[in-house]
Amino acid sequence: MIASSVGTPALWLGFTAFVVVMLALDLGVFHRRAHVVGVREAAIWSAVWIGLAMLFAGGIHMRFGAERAVEFVTGYLIEKALSVDNIFVILVILSYFAVPRSLHHRVLFWGILGALIMRAAFILAGAAILARFHWVSYALGGFLLVTAVKLFRSQGLEPHPERNFVVRAFRRLVPSVAEFHGAQFVVRQAGRLVATPLLLVLVTIEVTDLVFAVDSIPAIFAVTDDPFIVYTSNIFAVLGLRSLFFLLAGILDRFHYLKLGLAAVLFFVGLKMLAADWYEVPRGLSLGVIAALLGASIGASLLRRAPEPLPRGPRDLAPP
């Protein structure tokens, strides 16, 4: 049974209003004009988003206690780590479609806005299902174990956007033009609206995030059964995804063992979810194990050179 949520209607509305205001400031004030986001700007925005998340964790600690605060930080850490793998795939998508760097921020902004809506729906639906059907938690635990094995086996394999079912279907069904038209997603030609490549990029990123959400949201439900904590930790991590992308894009290939660390984290939380009725892993211990697994994978990446890529076929981005 799902525990009662700390999120009152006022807190849900207040947090949603905060997200809307921050997004409006982001696109309408700070990034009104399309431009190339540099490392310094990305580092500042990354620090801002992480700082806001930690301030929020402090507020949860003061109002609801240390246990809920640890749940928030653990969920935030899981989603933040999984988003790095998401960033790698997004980088491949932007490179494949040759999206001008000045348009990266705009397409990521709208992609993340769609991700926020999808994830909110996922979380609310997941909380309702878990509250009614306890056995679903075992199914999610097993799913996380399978996902961990798949992630481990995909180490060294490259995603290929051109093999994505959504990309092929979009090109076949949607009237499109081959060239970019600035920041426009659609343009009018010969009296009808047609899609630009930027719209295809946006759709591909949305579908990719949907696939990652299917992995990451069950992982956070393994940490806490409070929908408000799941929602806020997930949203804070997603809000910082763009700045993290611009900060890590140039050095992402150095974190070659991170995927192994992510697989280990998903395997751990899957086991935790399966064993919850017999043994409750202390929340502080969960946070420590997850941080240690991620820290070890990052440390190993920095200390050892990347292995040679596997010669096998690539992993498709499309969901199974």
What tens digit of pLDDT does each residue of 21-33 get? 887 776 656 555 6
For residue 304, what are its two tokens?
């050892």
Q: How confident is the model at residue 314 (pLDDT cuts 50, 70, 90)?
A: very low
Domain count, the chain: 1
Q: Is residue 290 part of a domain?
A: yes
Alpha-carbon torsion (234, 123, 120, 267), positive or negative? positive
Q: What is the pLDDT of residue 60?
A: 92
pLDDT in tens, 160-185: 666 667 778 888 888 888 788 887 88
Which whole number is the average pLDDT over 151-165? 67
Asked if 237 and 83 count as a contact pair (C-beta separation under 8 A), the reply is yes
Q: What is the pLDDT of residue 53?
A: 93
At CB < 8 A and 24+ separation, what contacts does 268-271 make?
268/293, 269/78, 269/144, 269/219, 269/222, 269/223, 270/141, 270/142, 270/143, 270/144, 270/145, 270/147, 270/148, 270/222, 271/141, 271/145
DSSP SS3 for 15: helix
Residue 89 CA to residue 86 CA, distance in Å, equals 5
| pTM for this prediction | 0.75
Q: Is residue 147 part of a domain?
A: yes
DSSP string, 154-166: TTTPPB-GGG-HH
pLDDT of 3 above 70: no
Which whole number is the average pLDDT over 77-102? 79
Nearest to 239 by CA among 9, 69, 18: 18
For residue 47, the number of C-alpha atoms closer than 13 Å in the C-beta half-sphere is 6
Q: What is the pLDDT of residue 1?
A: 36
Which whole number is the average pLDDT over 206-211? 78
Q: 93 or 134, which is more confident? A: 93
Q: Domain span at residue 290?
A: 9-153+200-303
Q: How confident is the model at residue 2 (pLDDT cuts 50, 70, 90)?
A: very low
CB atoms within 10 A of CB 112: 23
DSSP SS3 for 46: helix
Q: Is residue 211 part of a domain?
A: yes
pLDDT in tens, 250-305: 666 677 777 788 788 888 888 887 887 787 777 778 888 888 888 888 888 778 76
Mean pLDDT, the chain, integer: 78
At position 49, the amino acid (one-letter code) is: W
DSSP SS3 for 40: helix
pLDDT of 78 above 70: yes
Residue 290 CA to residue 296 CA, distance in Å, equals 10
Residue 101 CA to residue 95 CA, distance in Å, equals 10
Q: Is residue 239 part of a domain?
A: yes
Q: Is residue 2 part of a domain?
A: no
Asked if 294 and 81 count as a contact pair (C-beta separation under 8 A), the reply is yes
Q: Is residue 252 part of a domain?
A: yes
pLDDT of 312 above 80: no
Which whole number is the average pLDDT over 64-92? 84
pLDDT of 203 above 90: no
Nearest to 80 by CA among 240, 217, 215, 218: 240
Q: Is residue 314 part of a domain?
A: no
How far, in Å, are 169, 202, 230, 258 from residue 206 at the CA level? 15, 6, 20, 23
Which whole number is the average pLDDT over 103-112? 81
Instruction: Enumerate the H helices of the chain as residue ranges.
Output: 9-25, 39-64, 66-96, 104-132, 136-153, 165-173, 197-221, 227-239, 241-248, 258-274, 283-303
